[in-house]
């Protein structure tokens, strides 16, 4: 039977889809779900295409749509003839929304060797390009005791790596009594589960990395040396127009301090190409920051206007030029990544096996695994070459 839940977008959606999958399994009627994304206009188009494909594959099932795109503009999806209903983000983890029996949480981590654990949702910031706060609302943090309970469930289901996810993960704790910081949560997880082999963090806002979190990232072996920054741009004026809270110099300094304290750290980043008003100099700064920060994991987004956001009302860069600039930023990331992967040849790493015959090192470098490696196994590998983008 095909997967009843199609997921688009972020790791938070991936984590929530695990719970949805468990709930719809107990629904009164066979139910299939698209967990949509609205981070870009293209993501919304992909969500609509996913609806059409899922309906074609499941003509007799009840088809429901949830996620940010469906929450922000439910009428757009309700109007689709393939759709039977919309479930808002606020209700997507409630069994009643799916006409299902309550499912135990967390859902057993049988689909992935890494367990995605939502610790926070929503966002209190107002980046001018972003529509996500409209879909997710204000920042809401999961209390430490609840996070520990979820992590424990995944470990009991044999997950070998836990990934903390959220819309603004580094904003965790601001709404909780005493205003704890993300470093406090990470420390609590490590303390509670000494046998947890690997703890990974999803996208971080550099200005929110607290002192304890920095110490744990750079000094605790069980926290993976992989930091993905919500960078977005490499030019100060662009950052100001985005209403980001860091400068270019601060981003470069953070990357340098991380690598100085833990040299094997791999830096990832989100970057937007072709933001409104972007000129040649701003684009050149976008390209240059890839090397300046040593970005080896790059998520490069060609800017597309989201109706209702301030950036959509700014002077736009022509779409063909946006695509051209995005390709140039991606090429810069590819060059930095290729040099990084070459540098890992001959070095031994502990690689977590996935279910498709590949695996990832602590730095999230991709490996091709020896035949017969069991999913979830952590194996020591010393690559001798790179083939098709994988170390082997």
Contacts of 192 (CB under 8 A, 6+ apart): 148, 151, 152
How far apart are the C-alpha atoms of 316 and 297, rounded to whole Å? 27
Confidence check: pLDDT of 27 > 90:
no
- What is the arithmetic mean of pLDDT over 33-59? 93
Confidence check: pLDDT of 9 > 70:
yes
70 and 88 Cβ atoms separated by less than 8 Å: yes
Q: Is residue 248 part of a domain?
A: yes
The total number of structural domains in the chain stands at 3
Which residues span the domain enclosing 372?
A: 349-391
Confidence check: pLDDT of 244 > 70:
yes
Q: Is residue 371 part of a domain?
A: yes
- Could you give phi then psi for residue 346, rounded to 5 degrees? 90, -5
How far apart are the C-alpha atoms of 272 and 296, rounded to whole Å? 16
State the CATH number of the domain containing residue 311: 3.80.30.20
- What is the arithmetic mean of pLDDT over 203-223? 97
Angle between the N-to-C axes of helices 319-344 and 280-293, in degrees from 0 to 180, rounded to the nearest 10: 10
Least confident of 252-256, 261-265, 372-376: 372-376
Least confident of 84-93, 242-251, 362-371: 84-93
Q: Is residue 109 part of a domain?
A: no
Question: In this structure, are 304 and 366 located in the same domain?
Answer: no
How far apart are the C-alpha atoms of 234 and 119, rounded to whole Å? 29
Confidence check: pLDDT of 57 > 50:
yes
- What is the arithmetic mean of pLDDT over 309-328? 97
Confidence check: pLDDT of 29 > 90:
no
Question: In this structure, are 51 and 147 located in the same domain?
Answer: no
Question: In this structure, are 286 and 355 located in the same domain?
Answer: no
Q: Is residue 307 part of a domain?
A: yes
The three-state secondary structure class of 243 is coil
**What is the structure's pLDDT at 109?**
41
pLDDT (tens digit, 9 = 90+) per residue, 330-389? 999 999 999 999 999 999 999 999 988 999 999 999 999 999 999 999 999 999 999 999
Percentage of residues of the chain with pLDDT beyond 70: 96
154 and 162 Cβ atoms separated by less than 8 Å: yes
How far apart are the C-alpha atoms of 129 and 307, rounded to whole Å? 10
Eight-class DSSP state of 251: H
Question: In this structure, are 284 and 387 located in the same domain?
Answer: no
pLDDT band for 225, please (50, 70, 90 cuts).
very high
Last residue of a domain, one of 62, 96, 130: 96
pLDDT (tens digit, 9 = 90+) per residue, 125-141? 999 999 888 889 999 99
Question: In this structure, are 133 and 29 located in the same domain?
Answer: no
Angle between the N-to-C axes of helices 211-219 and 248-261, in degrees from 0 to 180, rounded to the nearest 10: 40
**What is the structure's pLDDT at 97?**
86
Question: In this structure, are 138 and 221 located in the same domain?
Answer: yes
How far apart are the C-alpha atoms of 131 and 112, rounded to whole Å? 29
Confidence check: pLDDT of 265 > 90:
yes
Long-range contacts from 87-90, C-beta under 8 angstroms, 24+ separation: 87/33, 89/121, 89/135, 89/136, 89/137, 90/137
Question: In this structure, are 360 and 278 located in the same domain?
Answer: no
Sign of the CA dihedral with 66 first, then 70, 74, and 76 last: negative
pLDDT (tens digit, 9 = 90+) per residue, 320-339? 999 999 999 999 999 999 99
**What is the structure's pLDDT at 107?**
46
pLDDT band for 106, please (50, 70, 90 cuts).
very low
Q: State the average pLDDT for the chain.
A: 93
Contacts of 367 (CB under 8 A, 6+ apart): 349, 351, 358, 359, 360, 361, 381, 383, 390, 391, 392
**What is the structure's pLDDT at 18?**
86
Question: In this structure, are 337 and 382 located in the same domain?
Answer: no
How far apart are the C-alpha atoms of 295 and 145, rounded to whole Å? 35
Last residue of a domain, one of 320, 343, 366: 343
How far apart are the C-alpha atoms of 86 and 25, rounded to whole Å? 18
Confidence check: pLDDT of 245 > 90:
yes
347 and 328 Cβ atoms separated by less than 8 Å: no
Question: In this structure, are 145 and 28 located in the same domain?
Answer: no
Question: In this structure, are 359 and 339 located in the same domain?
Answer: no
What residues does 163 pair with on adjacent strands?
A: 116, 200
State the CATH number of the domain containing residue 66: 3.40.50.12160
Question: In this structure, are 72 and 204 located in the same domain?
Answer: no
Count of beta carbons in the 10 Å neighbourhood of residue 233: 27
In the structure encoding, which two tokens stand for residue 209, read together? Answer: 């990395």
Percentage of residues of the chain with pLDDT beyond 90: 82
pLDDT band for 286, please (50, 70, 90 cuts).
very high
């Amino acid at each position: 039977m095909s997967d009843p839940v199609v997921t688009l977008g972020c790791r938070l959606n991936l984590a929530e889809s695990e719970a949805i999958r468990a709930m719809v399994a107990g629904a009164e009627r066979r139910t299939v779900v698209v967990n949509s994304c609205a981070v870009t206009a293209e993501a919304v188009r992909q969500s609509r295409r996913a609806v059409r494909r899922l309906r074609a594959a499941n003509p007799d099932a009840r088809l429901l749509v949830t996620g940010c795109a469906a929450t922000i503009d439910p009428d757009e999806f309700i109007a689709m003839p393939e759709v039977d209903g919309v479930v808002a983000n606020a209700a997507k983890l409630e069994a009643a929304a799916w006409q299902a029996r309550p499912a135990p949480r967390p859902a057993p981590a049988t689909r992935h060797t890494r367990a995605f654990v939502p610790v926070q949702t929503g966002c209190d910031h107002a980046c001018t390009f972003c529509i996500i706060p409209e879909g997710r609302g204000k920042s809401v943090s999961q209390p430490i005791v609840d996070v520990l309970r979820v992590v424990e469930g995944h470990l009991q289901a044999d997950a070998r790596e836990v990934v903390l996810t959220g819309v603004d993960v580094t904003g965790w704790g601001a709404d909780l009594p005493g205003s704890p910081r993300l470093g406090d949560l990470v420390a609590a997880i490590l303390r509670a589960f000494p046998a947890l082999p690997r703890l990974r963090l999803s996208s971080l806002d550099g200005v929110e990395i607290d002192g304890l979190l920095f110490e744990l990232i750079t000094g605790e072996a069980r926290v993976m040396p992989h930091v993905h920054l919500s960078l977005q741009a490499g030019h100060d004026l662009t950052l100001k127009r985005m209403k980001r809270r860091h400068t270019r110099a601060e981003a470069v300094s953070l990357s340098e301090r991380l690598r100085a304290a833990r040299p094997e750290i791999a830096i990832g980043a989100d970057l937007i190409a072709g933001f409104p008003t972007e000129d040649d100099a701003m684009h050149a700064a976008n390209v240059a920051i890839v090397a300046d920060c040593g970005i080896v994991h790059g998520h490069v987004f060609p800017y597309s206007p989201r109706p209702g956001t301030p950036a959509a009302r700014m002077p736009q860069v022509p779409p063909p030029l946006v695509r051209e600039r995005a390709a140039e930023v991606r090429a810069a990331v590819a060059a930095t990544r290729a040099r990084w992967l070459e540098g890992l040849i001959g070095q031994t790493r502990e690689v977590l096996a996935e279910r498709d015959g590949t695996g990832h090192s602590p730095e999230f470098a991709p490996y091709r695994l020896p035949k017969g490696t069991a999913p979830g196994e952590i194996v020591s590998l010393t690559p001798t070459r790179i083939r098709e983008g994988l170390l082997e």
